[in-house]
Chains A and B, each alone.
Chain A
Amino acid sequence: MSEIDVRLRDVTKRFGEFVAVDDISLEIPRGSFFAMLGPSGCGKTTTLRMIGGFEEPTAGTVLLGDQDVSDLPPYKRDVNTVFQSYALFPHLSIADNVGFGLREHGVPKAERTARVGEALELVDLTGYDTRKPRQLSGGQQQRVALARALVNRPRVLLLDEPLGALDLKLRRQMQLELKRIQQEVGITFVHVTHDQEEAMTMADQIAVMNEGRIEQLGGPTELYERPGTAFVAGFLGVSNLIAGRLDGTDVVTADGTRLAVAAGALGGRTGAVRLGIRPEKIRVADGDAPAGAALVGTVREYAYVGVATQYVVDTPAGEIQVFHQNATPGVQVAQPGTRVTLTWDPQATFLVEGETE
């Protein structure tokens, strides 16, 4: 059992009437790379700012380790932030920016210089000590912001969309870089992003947030393979959701088709549910298929994209998207109007809540 670095207990944040963060509880283990993922406005930044001390929770407690820090100002918390805007001090050199926190902590000059040098080396900016922030590119400024936070060796490092301002290529590169640095220093990272791919690439644990709540918390594969809600299923990749009623271990659709559910996916649900199946788990076949894991339908449209062909198939259970890997030579594309049978392994299915009217 590893130690917990950050604990939120029933944390709520209201701005006037508006509930930005709605009764969140979570625990972030020491040394993990933790991502908060969700659409814009779902309360990620506000949650992060409550951990950093820039916002006070309306209700609930924030703990760092075993210490309740809910009432502590930022400068008394053993936490550092990499701001989305970087917020580098324009009047200070890169070295003084990075050494800012060490100086406030009264670290002697010699040690400070050494640690600043190490931090700049870690982010590959050796030799930039005397420059001013405005003389650096966006990517370099981002790395200075990272070094300025890391050099203090805080208990937790908070990153608010740190790569948001970078172009795609640099962002991909920095994702791997950040992951490497996190493994190297072993500090707990809490990383906020609205980019699901970024969260999946980097994080050990992801909290998917929506409208101020945590929809689901888990590892990347768990969230992708077994999303617990329709929101998560749709936010992380693409899902087909087939409405029906649960009958034993089968979902029965409105037209009477029975579809088997993976035993591990039942999760104690009953009544109206939706069965989920990812487009790339579906095979397009002709001829018969095992009962309970097949739908027959008509191809409505397709898009050939080289590595794969995407189909939209009309079935009695609704519209199904299929992502067919073109793994064999001489691909035959099923033309619109063709009758096809769609099959899958029941182990690939998951259940989410039924449609609410």
Chain B
Amino acid sequence: MGYLRRHPRAVPYLLIAPGLAWLAVLFVVPLYYLVTTSLQSGDIYEGFRLTWQWSNYGDMLSQYRPQLVRSALYAAIATVAALLIAYPIVYFIARRGGQWKSLLLVLLVAPFFVTYLIRTIAWQTILADEGLVVGVLRDVHILAPDGRLLATSFAVVAGITYNYFPFMALPLYVALEQLDGRLLEASSDLYANSVRSFLRVTLPISLPGVFAGTLTTFIPAMGDFVNAQLLGTPKQYMIGNVIQSKFLVIVDYPLASAGAVILMVLILVGVAIYARALGAERLTG
């Protein structure tokens, strides 16, 4: 204790030390291996050696540009769709749920207690050609008589939307639940009807929740491969599928690592642009 009393400035650093150690072991070290692996060359029989093979990045970017673009596109569409679906539902639960709030929230996320894989396989059945949904859509001529849902981009985006729904819903719920109802009375007192109150009070105050929800949805969605694999075809494959097959099937660690680094950088840049656009300082400050 004597040391701390003589050096009070050391206290914050000591307190943050366990967190820093955690970050070092679980983030910095793996990142280091990821980046060095991405610059290696060789093959699984001869072994991989660090040869500063920058062309791995060029190869990845040129060969798999469609998958990269598709990942960003699917993830973005799914994120927007999840936001548009989740916001009204969560708004209703948080603002109008009354005594049923907790129950409704549990019901909303209950399907997600089932494992990811099983849920996605269930969607195969739901969207199957012989399934009820396709049958009805064909009958009402929304789908052509030989039209399909499964194995289309729609199925993959729908699967991603569904699977990451709680990541959108829960941050939104927190933001909307915390909104002080007296602020809405105040805006109503100041001549704003319910639409105007929503636009000028509820929505801006819930923006941090929107920000958090879109990030926690978009980031994992961008790297997803399960939905494209189970609900799509190679034509719907995303960068996640490429990385997965390079790691586990083709066993080309350097290229897979380069793909992972590219994905990470893309997400970081995207998040930075997004945060700037939304004004993250305003959101968090």
Contact = CB atoms under 8 A, between A and B. Distances in A.
A53 B188 CA distance: 9
Contact of A75 (B189, B201, B204): B189
Interface centre among B187, B190, B196 (most CB of A within 10 A): B190
B190 A101 contact: yes
Contact of A100 (B180, B190, B193, B205): B190
A148 interface: yes
Given A83-B182, A104-B196, A90 B189 contact: no
A236 B19 CA distance: 61
Interface string B97-110: 00000000000000
Contacts of B196: 104
Given A75-B193, A87-B180, A89-B201, A100 B185 contact: no
Contact of A52 (B187, B189, B192, B193): B189
Interface in B131-152: none
Contact of A87 (B185, B193, B204, B205): B185
A152 B192 CA distance: 13
Interface string A54-87: 1000000000000000000111100111010101
Contacts of A169: none
Contacts of B192: 75, 100, 104
B20 interface: no
Contacts of B191: 75-76, 101, 104-105, 152
Interface in A76-116: 76, 79-81, 83, 85, 87-91, 100-101, 104-105
A100 B186 CA distance: 10
Contacts of A87: 180, 182-183, 185-186
Contacts of A52: 189
Interface string B185-227: 1111111110010001100110000000000000000000000
Contacts of A105: 191
A104 to B, nearest CB: 4
B189 A89 contact: no
Residues of A in contact with B, size category:
20 to 34
Contacts of A90: 183, 205
Interface centre among B187, B189, B192, B205 (most CB of A within 10 A): B189
A52 B185 CA distance: 10
Contacts of A101: 189-191
A151 B223 CA distance: 53
Interface in B232-248: none
B189 A81 contact: yes
Given A101-B191, A152-B190, A74 B200 contact: no
B185 A54 contact: yes
Interface in A101-139: 101, 104-105
Contacts of B188: 53-54, 73-75
A54 B190 CA distance: 12
Given A75-B192, A87-B180, A100 B204 contact: no
Given A73-B193, A75-B193, A91 B187 contact: no
Contacts, number: 60
B193 A148 contact: no
A81 B188 CA distance: 10
A75 B201 CA distance: 15
B182 A104 contact: no
A47 to B, nearest CB: 16
Contacts of A80: 189-190
Contacts of B189: 52-54, 74-75, 79-81, 83, 101, 149
A74 B205 contact: no
A104 B195 CA distance: 12
A94 B258 CA distance: 50
A352 B180 CA distance: 45
A189 to B, nearest CB: 15
Contacts of A53: 188-189
A300 to B, nearest CB: 50
Contacts of B185: 54, 74, 81, 83, 87
Contact of B190 (A73, A76, A148): A148
Interface string B163-196: 0000000000000000010110111111111001
Contacts of B186: 81, 83, 87-89
A251 B184 CA distance: 56
B185 to A, nearest CB: 6
B60 to A, nearest CB: 42
Nearest to B205: A91
B182 A100 contact: no
Nearest to B191: A104
Nearest to A74: B188
A192 to B, nearest CB: 15
Contacts of B193: 73, 75
A65 B53 CA distance: 83
B196 to A, nearest CB: 6
Nearest to B181: A87
Interface string A163-191: 00000000000000000000000000000
Instruction: Return the 8 tightest CB-CB contacts between A and B, nearest first.
Output: A101-B190, A104-B191, A87-B186, A74-B188, A87-B182, A75-B191, A100-B190, A81-B189
6 contacts: A73-B193, A74-B189, A80-B189, A81-B186, A87-B180, A104-B191
Given A83-B182, A101-B191, 10 more contacts: A54-B189, A74-B189, A75-B188, A75-B192, A91-B204, A100-B187, A100-B190, A104-B190, A148-B190, A149-B189
Interface of B: 180, 182-183, 185-193, 196, 200-201, 204-205
